[in-house]
Amino acid sequence: MNAQVRSGENAGRQAQQAADSKPVRLLGRVGLAAYGLVNLLFAYLAAKVAFSGGGGGNASKQGALQTLASQPGGGLLLWVITIGLVALAVWQLAEAGVGYGYTTSDKRRTARRLGSAGKAIAFGALAFSAGRIAAGGSAGSGGTQKTFTAKVLELPGGQLLVGLVGLGIIAGAGYLAYHGWKKKFLEDLDLMRASLGTRKTVIRLGQAGFVAVGVAYALVGVLVLAAAVTYDAKKSAGLDGALQTLAKQPYGPVLLGLIALGVASYGIYCFFDARFRRG
C-alpha cells in the first residue's frame, strides 16, 4: 500500500513539474494571446451585426477564425493560433489535475480545477476548429446545432435533456458574469510587478469582458431553453444565431454594440492575462 501511495505521489509531482515547466507555461501564454486575438475578431463581427441590424456574417469565434483565414497570411497565423490553443488546453488540463496550489481553501481549489477541466475542453474544441479551417475545412455553423438539437428532441426525454442543457449554459454564463463582476479573475494574476495604472486597466477590462461574454452565452442558453419549452429545434442557435436574434429586437443593436465592446475588452484582457498569469 505504501508503495502505491509513493507511486501516486511521484506521479503527482511529475505532473505538477510538467504543468509548471517553462515550455508549457510559455506555450500557454502564447495560447492566451491567441485567444485574445480570436475574441477581438469576434467582437469586430458582433459590431458588424449590430451596425447592419442582423447581417454582417458569422458573429462567433468560429466566424472569427474563418475571417482570419481569408486575410493575407491568415492561414499561417491560424496554425500558430491552433498550436497556442492546443498548448492552452494542455495547460488547463494539467491545472485541472494538480494546479492552483496557491489556493488555501480545498473547496475553492477543487472548484478551480473543475473550471480548468471545462476550459480545457472548450479550448480543445476551438483549437480543433482553428486547425480544421487552417487546413482548408469548415468550422461548422448554427445549422449544425439545430440539427443536433432536433435529434436530441426526438429521443425519449429529449425535451428535458435540451432544457437542462439550456439551463446549464445559462448557469455557466451567469458564473462568467459573476466571475467578472466580483473580480475573481484576479486570483489567477500576479500584478505585484504592474504599475497602479496597469492594475486598474486590467481590472476594468476583466470586469467588462467577463460580464459581456457571460451575457452573450446567456442568450444562447435562453434560445436553447426556448427550443425545449416549445419543442421547436429551429429556435435553437449558436452564438451567431443568438446575436443575430438580439440585433433584430428593439434596442437590440445598441445592446449588441455594448456586448461587442465588452468582448473586445475581454480580448485585450487576455493579453494582460498572458503577461501576468501566475506561474
pLDDT per residue over 142-159, tens digit each? Answer: 555 566 677 777 777 777
3-state SS assignment for residue 189: strand
Mean pLDDT is highest, among 11-20, 185-194, 214-223, 263-272, for 263-272
Using an 8 Å Cβ cutoff, are 90 and 25 in contact? no
Whether 20 shows a pLDDT value over 70: the answer reads no
Largest CA distance in the chain: 67
CB neighbours of 34 closer than 8 A, spacing ≥ 6? 80, 81, 84, 85, 88
pLDDT at 252 over 90: no
Q: What is the pLDDT of residues 122-137, one digit of tens each?
A: 888 878 877 887 777 6
User: Mean pLDDT for the chain?
Assistant: 77
The angle, 0 to 180 degrees and rounded to 10, between the axes of the packed helices 252-276 and 196-230 is 130
Instruction: Give the whole-number percent of the chain exceeding pLDDT 70.
Output: 76
| In the block, residue with C-alpha cell 451585426 | 49
**pLDDT the model gives residue 140:** 52
Buried b (16+ CB within 10 A) or exposed e, 135-147: eeeebebbeebbe
For residue 66, the one-letter residue type is Q
Neighbours of 214 (CB within 10 A): 22
Confidence of residue 8 (pLDDT cuts 50, 70, 90): very low
What's the Rg (C-alpha) of the chain? 20
d(CA 103, CA 46): 36
The cell numbers describing 186, all together, are 484576479
Q: What interhelical angle do 61-69 and 22-52 show, nearest 10?
A: 90
pLDDT in tens, 103-122: 666 777 777 777 778 778 88
pLDDT tens across 59-73, in order?
Answer: 667 667 777 777 777
Contact yes or no for 5/233 (Cβ under 8 A)? no
Mean pLDDT of 31-49: 84
Residue 121 pLDDT: 83
